[in-house]
Structure 1
Amino acid sequence: MTNDTTSTKRLIRKGRIPGKTGFSPADIRLVDGVIDTIAAPGSLTPEDGETVLDADDGIVLPAFVDLHTHLDKGHITPRRPNPDGSFMGALNAVSADRVANWNAADVEARMEFALRCAYAHGTAAIRTHLDSAPPQHEISWPVFARKREEWAGRIELQATALCGPDHALDKALVEELARTVKTYGGSLGGAISVFDRAGEAIANLVDAAGRHGLDLDLHIDESGDTASRSLSILADRVIETGFSGRVLAGHCCSLAILAGEDAKATIARVAEAGIDIVSLPMCNLYLQDRRPEETPRWRGVTLLRELKAAGVAVSLASDNTRDPFYAYGDLDMLEVLRESVRIGHLDHPEDKLADWFSAVAAVPARTAGFAYGATLLAGAPADLVVTRARTPGELFSRPQSDRTVIRAGKVVSAKLPDYRELDTLLGVTP
């Protein structure tokens, strides 16, 4: 991965930047790794020693923030595919692969590959969940800490300990995970959906996070079952305990099929509790309502618009990448945004579309508390993605493989790694 070092000053001319109600034409001057000036197009003239990039009316975005990924699972599908595409098929396949293969070298190699993909696409910050059921937590967390240090300055990394509902019922185990997370500067998480003892599992996680001063990041209601009400239980527990850390709930699929008043009441409670939401549209579309030989009847995506209208911070993220939970993906947040717009019908009204761009940038940056803020403002880091697309229609019609990624004011020349690099590790070839 090499970077352009030709100039510490760069002028991006005739760009278009997203805002609350649309796209604004702008010239952008970058100086010494930060955004120096944003001005009306044509108002900035090149200065001595300044490199000029003519955006030619192309959309310019802040480098992306991916709030919910699974770097430890990534790219295992070639050696451990999901046998039927179902959620349980994914769960069992990952469990078998973890037991058989997830030593430190395996996890690290796949993490490194995934991070190279994300960096080449223009991502500047990532939060990953780490499967943390013992003894895996003693393997994956030190690997993550090493990757976080190695990638500092390129991708800001956070991690969350992920455990299943059965593990969340074990107070001693939750306490051990909380101590591990505290040691490595992460957050505490778990996966809770349709479950008779969901309240007990959530209470254990909230209480442990409170004792250790940790933030919470949970997989919640990743199900199409209207009996799955873990989001409401979580909101109630946060309010009742006065939990003061950040709380993020991912997926929340079953919220989308609750009856109208039930959904409204849940959303109001989520807003009252100050819980942020991250939706994973591509993975949810892939897994939810999958039945043998039948066409799915719903999209699996939570109530994005309704949550946002209630004042809840809503982010969009990648989730799984080429693993049994989602067989595709490349940690490309522009793909995530494009598919989310299509899946969630976010393209209308047109004057509100540009505001959804913040769901892969400033909103998840605030939710996670990243140092990187993912904003296009004077004084912000000069971490940008410049596209040739002039309109959302052009942006979402092509992969934008000719995008220009700028980090610290310099053009990044990193290329996507070849899947062939993983053949020996995975023990397979096509």
Structure 2
Amino acid sequence: MNDDWRRALPAEAFTGRGRVLLSRASVPAALLAGGAPAGAQVRPDGAAAVDLMLQDGAIAAVAPAGTLAADAALDLGGRQVWPMLVDMHTHLDKGHTLGRAPDSGGTHPGARDATSADRRAHWTHADLRRRMDFALASAAAHGVAAMRTHLDSHEGQAETSWAAFAETREAWADRIALQAVALVPLDSYRGDYGDRLADLVADHGGLLGGVTRAAGGAHGDGLDDIDDLLDRLFVLARARDLQVDLHVDEAMRADALPHVARAALRHGYEGRVTCGHCCSLALLPEAEMAETIALVAEAGITMVTLPAVNMYLQDRQPGRTPRWRGVMPVAELQAAGVRVAVAGDNCRDPFHAYGDHDMLDTWRQAVRTLHLDHPIADAPALAGPVPAAAMGLDAGLIAPGRAADLMLFDAWSLDQVMARPQSDRQLLRGGRAADSRPPSYARLGG
């Protein structure tokens, strides 16, 4: 196949109907349910040489390369094929406010204040829908199958944001699976607003969440009653059978994570809690880190690291080069049996000035930042099956019976996937050739 390989995709074959064979594909074994099929050749980078049979928009069979045949076939010649990826920590309500919101200075307190000002001034139902739709159009063009967004749910804002999200979720249901989490400072649960918010979240099928700091405060300060507040949150969640997803310790020095883990154990919430950020964990003395990680493992907490945003925000001081990376100790967590995912977080807003809702780009950044390579074979799982399992979704894996939601790359190995942005990727949704062009910024007014 020559350099114009994408032209070889016969439009009449990739309609989502009938049988179509993708022969001689190279798929990371970490993205194949059950790993590489018996008899398939596996490269040193962990990619398996396979044939993929598509039928009526689903994957009908996965077999060693060269063993399947069909009248309609595309010989990929060893090119990489991935499932669409999963972004389990985003902020669709904040996104694409850069230039409109006050300048944040690139710091966490500055971003918090700038976002609050923008929220008070602009976050109407129409504004939220417009920006969420743009974000999802971007994600869809990059091959994202599912997203979990945190929604600022302050009193006076929550009803508007959740209603806009509900409409957006329905509008995008056939392209991207969406979940939402309530995001408020933890002390917001002290009064009766906690009950009202939990009811709202339950009505929308969401998750209960928050950030382990006080309103207007910083991580590590101002929550002397953190255990009482966590108990209050878990009681509200259990009464409504809601899972919990928290922003935790997004600072160099903060110690909420052990409190969250103990609360999960107290309330029988093992396996039903997600914690994002946890930046300070990487800076603990080794013995204390190991003790905290063991507690996290016991509580069955899913951890989400957000390298692009935390490298942008953490340890930023004028005229000084940052001294640390702002990410959690992924290798140590995985070694303890903790489920860890990577995610995109903020996009073109005061918390992160850049991004395009591209989980492949997020994954590539994470591999470099966290040294998930050498070997790289297991790394793709952190953006596919791991977050999908945490979200309870059939996504992020290639397997018979699953939708033929695929990304085809002009790359033969994982190092080649890493080396280029793969802006020419070809998407198949339900076996149908899909548009991979991101929306024009003109949709946001330029």
TM-score of the aligned structures, taking structure 1 as reference length? 0.93
List aligned pairs for 1:268-279, cutoff 5 A.
268-279=294-305
TM superposition shift of 1:7: 4.2
Q: Secondary structure at the match of 1:25?
A: strand
TM superposition shift of 1:8: 3.2
List aligned pairs for 1:200-215, cutoff 5 A.
200-215=228-243
1:150 counterpart = 2:171: yes
Among candidates 199, 203, 211, match of residue 191 of structure 1: 211
List aligned pairs for 1:306-385, cutoff 5 A.
306-348=332-374, 350=375, 353-370=376-393, 372-385=394-407
Among candidates 65, 74, 78, match of residue 57 of structure 1: 78
Q: Can you list the C-alpha shifts for 1:210-266, whole angstroms capped at 9, x where unaligned?
A: 1211000000011111xx111100001111222367100001100000000100000
8 Å CA contact retained: 1:381, 1:408? yes
Q: Can you list the C-alpha shifts for 1:172-212, whole angstroms capped at 9, x where unaligned?
A: 12211110000000000101131333333322222211121
Counterpart position of 1:426: none
Q: Secondary structure at the match of 2:428?
A: strand
TM superposition shift of 1:10: 2.0
User: Aligned AA for 1:174?
Assistant: G
TM superposition shift of 1:166: 3.4
User: Aligned AA for 1:171?
Assistant: G
TM superposition shift of 1:411: 1.2
Among candidates 417, 420, 425, match of residue 403 of structure 1: 425
Please list every run of 5 or more consecutive structure 1 residues that lacks an aligned counterpart in the other structure: 424-428
RMSD: 1.7
Q: Secondary structure at the match of 1:46?
A: coil
8 Å CA contact retained: 1:68, 1:278? yes
Q: Secondary structure at the match of 1:171?
A: coil
CA distance in 1, matches of 2:260, 2:293: 12
- CA 1:81–1:22: 2 relative to 1, 3 Å: farther
Please list every run of 5 or more consecutive structure 2 residues that lacks an aligned counterpart in the other structure: 1-10, 31-44, 213-218
8 Å CA contact retained: 1:56, 1:388? no
Larger displacement relative to structure 2 (172-181 or 197-206): 197-206
Among candidates 19, 22, 25, match of residue 49 of structure 2: 25
1:10 counterpart = 2:20: yes
List aligned pairs for 1:104-115, cutoff 5 A.
104-115=125-136
Q: Can you list the C-alpha shifts for 1:122-153, whole angstroms capped at 9, x where unaligned?
A: 01111100000011111010111111111111
CA distance in 1, matches of 2:284, 2:184: 26
Counterpart position of 1:248: 274
Identity of aligned residues (%): 44
List aligned pairs for 1:232-247, cutoff 5 A.
232-243=258-269, 246-247=272-273
Counterpart position of 1:39: 63
CA distance in 1, matches of 2:144, 2:117: 31
TM-score of the aligned structures, taking structure 2 as reference length? 0.90
Counterpart position of 1:221: 249
1:263 counterpart = 2:254: no
Q: Secondary structure at the match of 1:189?
A: strand
Counterpart position of 2:440: 418
Q: Secondary structure at the match of 2:155?
A: coil
Q: Secondary structure at the match of 2:378?
A: helix
8 Å CA contact retained: 2:17, 2:55? no
Counterpart position of 2:198: 178
Q: How many residues align?
A: 413
